[in-house]
Amino acid sequence: GIQVEQSPPDLILQEGANSTLRCNFSDSVNNLQWFHQNPWGQLINLFYIPSGTKQNGRLSATTVATERYSLLYISSSQTTDSGVYFCATFNTNAGKSTFGDGTTLTVKP
């Protein structure tokens, strides 16, 4: 199956700092999404981004499908950004999905 690797595994930032999270995937996908799991366990969809670049407020994401990676940018981080960020890929036809192990982000005030 598809392998999904996220880096870094852990990230500690001071409030206001910027960060880049990376997701590498081992095979072609036509559905890639980024999620944020908050400290209460809720999984919130951030971006559906199989290719290209999208922005939503302080967050943006870029996927280069031909090179099999995606990046999530967080600018001017806030303590509420803390949690685990997952990227997930979905096989073209089979529907099986694979989540990375996540990046645990801690933003300190």
Residues in contact with another protein, shown as a per-residue x/- string from 46 to 85 under the rule CB under 8 A: --x-x-----------------------------------
Between 74 and 88, CB nearer to another protein:
88
Please state the length of the chain: 109
* Residue from the set 35, 61, 74, 83 that interacts with another protein by CB under 8 A: 35
CA nearest to 49, candidates 25, 67, 30, 75: 30
Is there a cis peptide before residue 50, judged by omega within 30 degrees of 0? no
Distance CA 64, CA 5 (A): 15
Contact positions vs another protein (CB under 8 A): 29-31, 33, 35, 41-45, 48, 50, 86, 88, 90-99, 101-102
